């Protein structure tokens, strides 16, 4: 489904590229991808979308239709010829997909011909910003849900075809399965699904609807019990059918609650099921769930086994977008900077490496240090703005986060399945202390600069001062 041509870009990338083509077609540029704020007011972010970007970039080209279209938009023949042969041949270093990342330090760096790295900006931001937003949301929902099962049910409210990659990102963040068939098929996710209210309404009689379903789909059978009245109709009918299934040697997997007070109904439902000897029947809950509602349900000890999460998961509600940006940091081996009135928004120049500090026990210490790409084992980290603050790094193990993933337009790392990435996310989140994971005023994961990088940045700031 990710049938993306090179015209999946902003027009200004092409107008700029044409100027580069005429004035400096051999120039080499380095761009950084990073974001400015953790989404949801949280203390961390889960990076997702890298595998898709590598696949897209390896195949990116303008179609004949694209060129025909661009011919009508004031592009010159020679430049159109360049576009006809356009391929991305750049080199990328990146944090591993699924890793835990933080604001204002590079997640990914692209180096290559300036036209190529400019043209891919839009698709790169589009794919990484969105999946990172959703993987992070999913990880927060997972944090609330503990070891309960989570199902993505969001496709109908997703942002059109964005729902496809939403299902992928949700899996990376810790969601166990999806209702989205095409996403499950393409990304090897677990698929799950039961029945809608319309199924029951198509029968005169709820009991008959349950009976037909349980006979024909006995495996993983979950009955939706709130069409008419959960406790007076749906649940008694489900129990009748569960007993009939037992007589046939089958087992009802669960009942689903999709409206009303889920804590109250789950407790009543559990009690009634247990009294009927149906301790094995699970309770599935859905209806506008997010990390806060699930946290509250767990705190109320609602005996829910499986949560179905939809709109809030696949749209990243209440955040509309991750504020990821793509900034020039080097041009023909010359460091570059983007100024701002606000020092926090000043970009970091040059090719860089990000080092994560690990403490004695192997946990994240709570600081990433950004140095020049040529540096190793940084001995001291400096506060980005406050010259009185620094930290000695001699006692930390340092992990270099940016690794080469693509060279000259060809991927240099092996493909990873979504399941493998999700496993990695789980492992990395386990290394992040809990105070960064809480929803209210999470602890701030620090950023530091190496002395070399800081003096380079400060030099460029002075150079551009007005």
Residue 388 buriedness (CB in 10 A; 0-12 / 13-18 / 19+):
exposed
Q: Which stretch binds a copy of itself (CB under 8 A): 326-334, 387-395, 400-408, 413-421?
A: 326-334
Does 74 engage in binding with a copy of itself (CB under 8 A)?
yes
Does 18 engage in binding with a copy of itself (CB under 8 A)?
yes
Query: Least distance to a copy of itself from the beta carbon of 448, Å?
Result: 25
Does 440 engage in binding with a copy of itself (CB under 8 A)?
no
Residue 109 pairs in a beta bridge with 32, 93
Nearer to a copy of itself, 176 or 179 (CB): 179
| Contact with a copy of itself (CB under 8 A) among 59, 82, 89, 195 | 195
**x/- letters, 78..117, toward a copy of itself (CB under 8 A):** ------------------------------------x---
**x/- letters, 275..314, toward a copy of itself (CB under 8 A):** ------------------------------------xx--
Nearer to a copy of itself, 217 or 404 (CB): 217
Does 406 engage in binding with a copy of itself (CB under 8 A)?
no
Contacts of 211 (CB under 8 A, 6+ apart): 241, 244
Nearer to a copy of itself, 284 or 382 (CB): 284
Are 272 and 230 within 8 A, CB to CB?
Answer: no
Site for a copy of itself in 232-271 (CB under 8 A): 232-233, 259-260
Strand ranges in 344-416 using DSSP code E only, listed in sequence order: 352-358, 364-372, 380-382, 390-392, 397-400, 403-407, 410-411
Query: Least distance to a copy of itself from the beta carbon of 16, Å?
Result: 5
Does 419 engage in binding with a copy of itself (CB under 8 A)?
no
Q: Single out the residue of 163, 101, 202 nearest to residue 424, CA to CA.
A: 101
Establish whether the linkage from the previous residue to 318 is cis, with ω within 30° of 0.
Answer: yes
The per-residue b/e assignment along 258-289, b for 16 or more CB within 10 angstroms, e otherwise, is: beeebbebbbbbbebbeebebeebbbbbbeeb
Does 36 engage in binding with a copy of itself (CB under 8 A)?
no
Output phi, psi for 371, to 5 deg: -125, 180
Does 27 engage in binding with a copy of itself (CB under 8 A)?
yes
CB atoms closer than 10 angstroms to residue 160? 7
Does 338 engage in binding with a copy of itself (CB under 8 A)?
yes
Q: Single out the residue of 334, 358, 308, 347 nearest to residue 157, CA to CA.
A: 308
Residues making up the chain, counted from first to last: 466
Can you say how many angstroms the Cα of residue 353 is from the centroid of all Cα atoms in its chain? 22
Query: Least distance to a copy of itself from the beta carbon of 54, Å?
Result: 16
Nearer to a copy of itself, 107 or 381 (CB): 107
Query: Least distance to a copy of itself from the beta carbon of 52, Å?
Result: 9
Site for a copy of itself in 370-399 (CB under 8 A): none
The vertex-443 CA angle with 448 and 339, nearest 5°, equals 40
Query: Least distance to a copy of itself from the beta carbon of 75, Å?
Result: 9
| Contact with a copy of itself (CB under 8 A) among 59, 84, 193, 461 | 193
Does an H or E element contain 101, and which? strand 100-101
Does 31 engage in binding with a copy of itself (CB under 8 A)?
yes
Query: Least distance to a copy of itself from the beta carbon of 58, Å?
Result: 18
65 phi-psi bin (left φ>0, alpha ψ -120 to 50, beta other): alpha
Does 461 engage in binding with a copy of itself (CB under 8 A)?
no
Does 29 engage in binding with a copy of itself (CB under 8 A)?
yes
Query: Least distance to a copy of itself from the beta carbon of 157, Å?
Result: 4
Are 368 and 446 within 8 A, CB to CB?
Answer: yes
Distance CA 82, CA 205 (A): 66
Query: Least distance to a copy of itself from the beta carbon of 421, Å?
Result: 17
Query: Least distance to a copy of itself from the beta carbon of 355, Å?
Result: 26
Are 128 and 33 within 8 A, CB to CB?
Answer: yes
- # binding residues, a copy of itself (CB under 8 A): 106
Q: Which stretch binds a copy of itself (CB under 8 A): 104-112, 274-282, 327-335, 427-435?
A: 327-335
| Contact with a copy of itself (CB under 8 A) among 44, 164, 355, 396 | 164
Does an H or E element contain 116, and which? helix 114-119
Does 192 engage in binding with a copy of itself (CB under 8 A)?
yes
Site for a copy of itself in 124-163 (CB under 8 A): 125-127, 129-131, 153, 155-163
DSSP 167: H
**x/- letters, 210..239, toward a copy of itself (CB under 8 A):** --xx--xx-xx------xxx--xx------
Does 171 engage in binding with a copy of itself (CB under 8 A)?
no
DSSP conformation letters of 197-240: HHHHHTSS-HHHHHHHHHHH--TT-EEE--SS-IIIIIHHHHHH
């Amino acid at each position: 489904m990710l049938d993306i041509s090179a015209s999946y870009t902003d027009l200004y990338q092409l107008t700029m590229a044409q100027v580069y083509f005429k004035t400096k077609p051999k120039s080499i540029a380095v761009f950084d991808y990073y974001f400015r704020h953790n989404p949801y007011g949280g203390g961390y972010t889960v990076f997702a979308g890298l595998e898709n970007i590598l696949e897209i970039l390896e195949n990116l080209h303008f179609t004949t239709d694209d060129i025909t279209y661009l011919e009508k938009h004031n592009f010159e023949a020679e430049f159109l010829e360049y576009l006809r042969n356009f391929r991305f041949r750049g080199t990328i270093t990146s944090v591993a997909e699924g890793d835990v990342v933080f604001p204002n330090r590079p997640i990914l760096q692209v180096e290559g011909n300036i036209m190529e790295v400019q043209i891919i900006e839009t698709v790169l931001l589009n794919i990484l910003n969105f999946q990172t937003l959703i993987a992070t949301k999913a990880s927060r929902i997972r944090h609330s849900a503990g070891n309960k099962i989570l199902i993505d049910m969001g496709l109908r409210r997703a942002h059109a075809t964005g729902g496809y990659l939403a299902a992928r990102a949700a899996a990376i963040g810790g969601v166990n399965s999806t209702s989205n068939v095409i996403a499950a098929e393409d990304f090897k996710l677990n698929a799950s699904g039961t029945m809608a209210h319309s199924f029951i309404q198509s029968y005169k009689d709820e009991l008959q609807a349950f009976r037909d379903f349980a006979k024909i789909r006995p495996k993983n059978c979950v009955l939706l019990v709130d069409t008419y009245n959960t406790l007076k109709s749906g649940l008694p009918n489900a129990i009748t059918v569960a007993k009939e299934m037992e007589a046939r040697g089958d087992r009802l997997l669960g009942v689903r609650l999709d409206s009303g007070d889920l804590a109250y109904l789950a407790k009543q439902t559990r009690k009634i099921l247990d009294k009927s000897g149906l301790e094995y029947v699970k309770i599935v809950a859905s209806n506008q769930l997010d990390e806060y509602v699930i946290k509250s349900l767990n705190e109320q000890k609602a005996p829910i086994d499986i949560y179905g999460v939809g709109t809030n998961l696949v749209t990243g509600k209440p955040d509309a977008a991750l504020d990821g940006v793509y900034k020039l940091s080097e041009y023909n081996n010359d460091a570059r900077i983007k100024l701002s009135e606000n020092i926090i928004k000043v970009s970091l120049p040059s090719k860089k490496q990000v080092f994560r500090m690990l403490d004695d026990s192997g946990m994240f210490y709570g600081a990433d240090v950004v140095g020049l790409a040529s540096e190793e084992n940084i001995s001291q980290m400096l506060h980005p703005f406050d010259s009185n603050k620094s930290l000695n790094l001699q006692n930390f193990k340092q992990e270099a986060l940016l690794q080469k993933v693509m060279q000259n337009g060809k991927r240099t790392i092996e493909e990873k399945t979504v399941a493998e990435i999700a496993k990695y996310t789980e492992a990395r989140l386990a290394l992040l202390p809990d105070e960064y994971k809480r929803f209210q005023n999470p602890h701030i994961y620090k950023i530091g600069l190496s002395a070399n990088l800081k003096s380079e940045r400060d030099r460029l700031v002075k150079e551009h001062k007005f």
